[in-house]
Structure 1
């Protein structure tokens, strides 16, 4: 088992102040999304299949730089900042409601409307020309493409808190979460959920881990969602919430989740 996979499997363990289980309906699924190619625009879903690796088809492909780094909005040991990736969008070549499996190859939609399958050698050539550096598209292997965890969720209560602090609306699409939960109130209510399990609908159970650390991507323009640049968000999260927003999660029990499904905290 890889170090990253071991991390994913123990997100619920050793969290200070972990609450005692008390089953409680807390929210329902407002939105579902997946991002077939890491750091590109993605697609919103009416239903999604969850596996041990997260949402089926989510971030299974990525752009790789010449030194083997994974294209991202930041530079770390695994990742390399590649500006311009968010000008492209990726979708799986089946209706989103079909919740296809990991074997599907995404289609990349370029700014001029051209589409290429990720496994087409021409796609890497066109992408390299567009972004001005040698790039390749690859399917995930032993090195995980997810930043911190296979599933990321946010609540509308936390979005409202951010809007309150900022003094204007905030589009939840900036946070590129797999699940947006409709929850009452205003505040970072999910902080109290860390270390607990969340059952969604009739099938899926998630283990809720620590808060999700944010990076510059939250303020980058996302043309496909008509979002311009906004450097204020990362600074605001730094002052208000230790640069964290939403929760990391891993999948305890897989299955299908649909918009509108009830979420119960255990």
Structure 2
């Protein structure tokens, strides 16, 4: 096990400075399934258009199915979801194609919930609107720096959404490189962290630098403005098998050892707009 090292202090850049560019964009049509990497996206007040528009509802627990409780739902990360046509802001989400290891189906299929129930071997419904007071179970694995150890807690979702806590989250390539430098034997693939935005900092910038942007507004491209609300604490999902990535609890333990379990930032939307890969990211203001 690598020893804990001090996190270097990172200075906040001056207002108006370009701090990076958009390296990648992701949307996740169905909560806890693999999503879509996009060249461009529309971001409104409630987040990236079409993101987490669908989720599975577990009839037995009366809660949203989430890989945050891998004891029940880790298999969701072996599924992928993509829209069959682009979602539009303010409109009902279009159909998604869901691919499980056993089958491919459309959300518009009247039998989609039954087919997913058969595959998961428990009764579920595919929803595009969360019930009032919707919640999910989250499992806290044994990570010494966390308050909870090997327990499951209830997390109540923000009203009207399937988001856990915020409409958008981002991470920088600098944070991922810092973790790889500290623990080179581990695979800190960006996909483990399931961000909406991957930001490539300006040349020479390194470390957990996006945390210096907390309390600031970032401008992406010409119009989009996002407020950086706080750092993004990570959960068990970063450790689970997904795609070609194997299960590895040390990913979360390393993030705890070196940066108090935080990797990335949580964002809210100040001014909606379009974002595309290659857009400059400018620190526009701070409060």
TM-score range relative to shorter protein: 0.7 to 0.9
Match of 2:254 in 1: 236
Query: Which protein has the larger Cα radius of gyration, Structure 1 or Structure 2?
Result: 2
Could you tell me which runs of 5 or more consecutive residues in structure 2 were left unpaired when the two chains were aligned: 1-10, 131-158
Aligned to 2:208: 188
The two structures have a TM-score, normalised by structure 2, of 0.78
| Equivalent in the alignment of 1:90 | 81
Q: Does 1:213 align with 2:213?
A: no
Distance 2:24 2:13 in 1: 28
Higher mean C-alpha deviation, range 28-37 or range 124-133: 124-133
Q: Which residue number in structure 2 is paired with residue 115 of structure 1?
A: 104
Q: After the TM superposition, which residues 97-112 of structure 1 pair with which residues of structure 2 at under 5 Å, given as runs?
A: 100-101=88-89, 102-103=91-92, 104-112=94-102
1:69 equivalent to 2:63? Answer yes
**Which 10-residue stretch deviates more, 209-218 or 132-141?**
132-141
Q: Secondary structure at the match of 2:169?
A: strand
- Asked whether the 8 Å contact 2:80–2:100 carries over to 1, the reply is yes
State how far apart, in whole Å, the 1-side matches of 2:75 and 2:194 are: 16
For 2:95 and 2:62, the matched residues in 1 are separated by 21
Name the SS for the 2:192 alignment partner.
Answer: helix
Match of 1:250 among 261, 268, 271: 268
Deviations 1:200-243 (A, max 9, x none): 001200011111121110011112xx211121111111111111
**Alpha-carbon separation, structure 2, partners of 1:171 and 1:235:** 15
How many aligned positions are there?
A: 240
Measure the CA separation in 2 of the matches of 1:189 and 1:81.
Answer: 35
- Aligned partners of 1:219 and 1:137: how far apart in 2? 25
- Are the equivalent residues in 2 in contact too, given 1:219–1:230 (CA < 8 A)? yes
Structure 1 equivalent of residue 174 of structure 2: 157
Question: Which structure's residues are more often helix, by fraction?
Answer: 1
Q: What secondary structure sits across from 1:82 in the alignment?
A: helix
Counterpart in the other structure of 1:15: none
Residue 45 (structure 2) pairs with residue 55 (structure 1): no
Instruction: Pick one of 37, 40, 43 that aligns with 2:30.
Output: 37
- The answer (yes or no) to whether the contact 1:71–1:80 under 8 Å persists in 2 is no
Determine if contact 2:13/2:283 at 8 Å carries over to the other structure: no
Partner of 1:203: 223
Runs ≥4 in structure 1, deviation > 6 angstroms?
Answer: 18-21
What's the RMSD between the two structures over aligned residues? 2.1
Q: Is the 8 A contact 2:188 2:251 kept in 1?
A: no
Deviations 1:42-93 (A, max 9, x none): 0000000000110000001101111321111225xxx995231011101011
Distance (Å, rounded) in 1 between the aligned partners of 2:72 and 2:196? 22
Deviation, structure 1 residue 148: 1.5
